[in-house]
């Protein structure tokens, strides 16, 4: 027996005339068919509108599953985003497809701002290790809570060397 | 009276590396007079707090850090266990009904992680967040944030006339006291703590340098 399964997924960021960003996301496969549109208000990146249409779903709520997306209004792209989105969408017992869709929309917004900078960064050729690490150190200095959050930012990491992140009272 | 208003300990906050007994020893060494235990969605028992205070000789106050749709909130005088993320409007209703007090924790954490130069949010724009209409105070000096993030919080608190507090948000022992709130009066309980914040009888600073 041959099992055939096809999945299509897309996400698109569109600047609106109001200055906001609309993110359109669609997932379609043999079990699920859902699309959502989230509108993000700049500069705070707050979700000011959210709609989802579920045409096919294996989840218990069926096509009514999209109603839960309204809980996303007021959530901002920022610290604690994953925890907040997953919590509001019902956690492990919630609609995982929609939850991941919201997070992918937020990720698309982040990429919309970060990708051009990252691409520029990757084009640059460095002559010394110090020069290569300088932008990462600047990023860590601007986000001190990342210090000791992973091995790359551990106390004995070359990235952390020379940074004053402990004493910190300014 | 020097108090760190925002400290996490293990095991109630699984993300913390601070043992409560080591915490009080370090707090004393740094010259603190009090600590607020603000675990994530978890509360200390009154008996445990009293015992820790008795052993250490410093004041131990109880709070709770609750995650809402608008971010993390330090909640005082609301001795109810909130297991999950909760909409802030709902939390506000319940805390007000209980006579509690809410502080927006690290309100601008990560607001400039990306968008270098493109997302220049002004303090006036930031002050319009609904969050600030639903809290009694906001943290303007948090030990885990950058100077820029704390500065934004301070400016917003001035625009709104909202009380600003300082706390370390310590998760590691050497972070205790990085920012503290220095009260003019002696404080004996959470009621007096929040009354003094409301009255503005405090300043924000750093713990006296540890020897």
- Poorest-pLDDT segment among A119-133, B138-152, B180-194: A119-133
CB contact under 8 A, B67 and A168: no
How far does CA B33 lie from the centroid of its chain?
16
Q: Do A84 and B144 touch (CB under 8 A)?
A: no
**Six-digit token string for A75:** 């959530």
**Closest-CA residue of chain A to B106:** A79
Separation CA B145–CA B110 (nearest Å): 8
Q: For chain A, which residues lie within 8 Å of any Cβ of chain B, measuring from their own Cβ?
A: 42-46, 71, 74-76, 78-80, 83-84, 87-88, 91, 110, 113-114, 117, 141-145, 148, 166, 168-170
What value does the mean pLDDT take over residues B195-211? 86
Cβ atoms within 10 A of the Cβ of B189, count?
12
Residues of A within 8 A of B179 (CB-CB) are 169
pTM across the whole model? 0.84
Q: What is the pLDDT of residues B67-112, one digit of tens each?
A: 999 999 999 999 999 999 999 999 999 999 999 999 999 998 875 5
What DSSP assignment string belongs to B59-101? EEEEEEEEEETTEEEEEES------S-B-HHHHHHHHHHTT-E
Record the tokens describing residue A140, joined without a space. 């860590």
**Which pLDDT value is given to residue B111?**
56
Q: What pLDDT shows up at residue B116?
A: 46
Mutate to test the interface with A, among B69, B87, B153 (most CBs of A within 10 A): B69
Instruction: Give the whole-angstrom CA distance, residue A40 versus residue A38.
Output: 7
Per-residue model confidence (pLDDT) at position B85: 93
- Residue numbers in B near A76 (CB within 8 A): 70-71
pLDDT at B199 (0 to 100): 96
Confidence of residue A125 (pLDDT cuts 50, 70, 90): confident
At residue A15, the 3 state secondary structure works out as: strand
Residue whose structure tokens are 């399964």: A5
The model's pLDDT over A132-153, given as tens digits with 9 standing for 90+, comes to 888 788 778 777 777 877 787 8
Measure the CA–CA gap between A104 and A37, rounded to whole angstroms. Answer: 12
pLDDT exceeds cutoff 70 at A168:
no
Secondary element (H or E) of residue A104: helix A96-123
Tokens matching residue A71: 């809980």
Chain B residues within 8 Å of chain A (Cβ atoms): 67-72, 84-85, 87, 106, 109-116, 118-121, 125-126, 129-130, 143-148, 150, 172, 174, 178-179, 206
Question: What totals of helices (H) and strands (E) does chain A contain, helices first?
Answer: 3, 4
pLDDT at position A155, please? Answer: 80
Q: For residues A30 and A162, which has the higher predicted lDDT (pLDDT)?
A: A30
Confidence at residue A127, expressed as pLDDT on a 0 to 100 scale: 85
Digit-coded pLDDT (tens) for A34-89: 999 999 998 888 999 999 999 888 877 766 777 889 999 999 988 889 999 999 99
pLDDT at residue B38, rounded to an integer: 98
Helix (H) or strand (E) holding A47: strand A46-56
Q: Helix (H, G, I), strand (E, B), or coil: what is residue B142? A: strand
Euclidean distance between CA atoms A1 and B71, whole angstroms: 50
Q: In Å, what is the CA distance from B168 to each residue of B79, B120, B139, B143?
A: 22, 26, 10, 4
Q: Which whole-number Å values give the CA distances from B187 to A48, B30, B120, B172, in the listed order?
A: 42, 19, 40, 26
d(CA B48, CA B69): 31
Residues in chain B with CB shorter than 8 Å from the CB of A44 are 111, 121, 125-126, 129
- In this predicted complex, what is the ipTM? 0.78
Strand order in the sheet with B101-104: B163-167, B137-142, B101-104, B71-76, B59-68, B34-37, B2-7, B180-183, B202-205
Supply the pLDDT for residue A150: 78
**Is A169 in Cβ contact with B178 (below 8 Å)?**
yes
pLDDT band for B118, please (50, 70, 90 cuts).
Answer: low
Mean pLDDT of chain B: 92
Q: Pick from A43, A80, A91: which is nearest to B67 by CB?
A: A80
Q: What is the pLDDT of residue A170?
A: 32
Using a CB-CB distance cutoff of 8 angstroms, which residues of chain B are in contact with residue A46?
129
> What would the pLDDT profile of A10-21 be if each residue is shown by its tens digit?
999 999 999 999
Sign of CA dihedral B185, B190, B192, B194: positive
Quickly state the pLDDT bin for B117 (edges 50, 70, 90). low
Reported as a pLDDT band with limits 50, 70 and 90, residue A95 is confident
Residue with tokens 């503290």: B180
**In chain B, % of residues over pLDDT 70:** 95
Would you say residue A118 has pLDDT above 90?
Answer: no
Looking at residue A166, its pLDDT comes to 53
Residue B204's H or E segment, with its range, is strand B202-205
Would strands A33-41 and A21-29 be described as parallel, antiparallel, or unpaired? antiparallel
From the CB of residue B77, how many other CB atoms can be counted at a distance below 10 Å? 18
In this prediction, residue A169 carries a pLDDT of 39
**Shortest CA gap B21–chain A (Å):** 22
- Averaged pLDDT for residues B173-191: 95
Residue with tokens 């009888």: B201
In angstroms, the separation between the Cα of residue A59 and the nearest Cα of chain B is: 22
- Spatial distance between the Cα atoms of A106 and A11, rounded to a whole number of angstroms: 10
Task: In whole angstroms, give the CA distance from residue B202 to residue B207.
Answer: 14
């Amino acid at each position: 027996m041959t099992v055939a399964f096809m999945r299509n997924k897309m996400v698109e960021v569109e600047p609106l005339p109001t200055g906001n960003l609309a993110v359109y996301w669609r997932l379609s496969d043999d079990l699920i068919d859902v699309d959502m549109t989230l509108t993000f208000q700049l500069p705070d990146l707050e979700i000011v509108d959210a709609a989802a249409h579920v045409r096919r779903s294996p989840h218990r709520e069926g096509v009514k599953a999209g109603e839960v997306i309204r809980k996303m209004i007021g959530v901002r792209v920022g610290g604690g985003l994953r925890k907040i989105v997953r919590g509001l969408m019902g956690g492990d017992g919630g609609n995982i497809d929609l939850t991941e869709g919201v997070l992918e929309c937020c990720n698309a917004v982040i990429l919309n701002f970060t990708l051009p900078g990252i691409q520029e960064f990757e084009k640059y050729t460095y002559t010394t290790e110090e020069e290569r690490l300088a932008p990462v150190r600047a990023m860590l200095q601007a986000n001190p809570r990342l210090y000791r959050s992973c091995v790359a930012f551990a106390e004995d990491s070359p990235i952390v060397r020379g940074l004053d992140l402990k004493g910190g009272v300014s | 009276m020097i108090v760190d208003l925002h400290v996490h300990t293990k095991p109630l906050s699984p993300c913390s590396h601070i043992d409560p007994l080591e915490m009080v020893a370090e707090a004393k060494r740094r010259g603190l007079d009090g600590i607020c235990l603000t675990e994530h969605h978890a509360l200390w028992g009154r008996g445990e707090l009293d015992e820790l205070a008795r052993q250490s000789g410093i004041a131990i106050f109880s709070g709770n850090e609750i995650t809402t749709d608008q971010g993390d909130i330090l909640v005082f005088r609301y001795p109810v266990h909130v297991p999950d993320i909760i909409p802030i409007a709902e939390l506000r209703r319940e805390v007000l009904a209980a006579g509690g007090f809410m502080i927006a924790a690290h309100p601008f954490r990560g607001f400039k992680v990306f968008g270098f130069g493109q997302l220049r949010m002004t303090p006036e724009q930031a002050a319009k967040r609904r969050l600030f209409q639903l809290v009694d105070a906001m943290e303007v000096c948090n030990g885990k944030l950058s100077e820029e993030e704390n500065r934004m919080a301070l400016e917003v608190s001035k625009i709104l006339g909202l009380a600003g507090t300082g706390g370390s948000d310590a998760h590691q022992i050497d972070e205790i006291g990085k920012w503290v709130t220095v009260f003019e009066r002696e404080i004996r309980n959470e009621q007096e703590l929040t009354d003094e914040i409301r009255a503005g009888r405090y300043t924000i600073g750093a713990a006296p340098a540890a020897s």
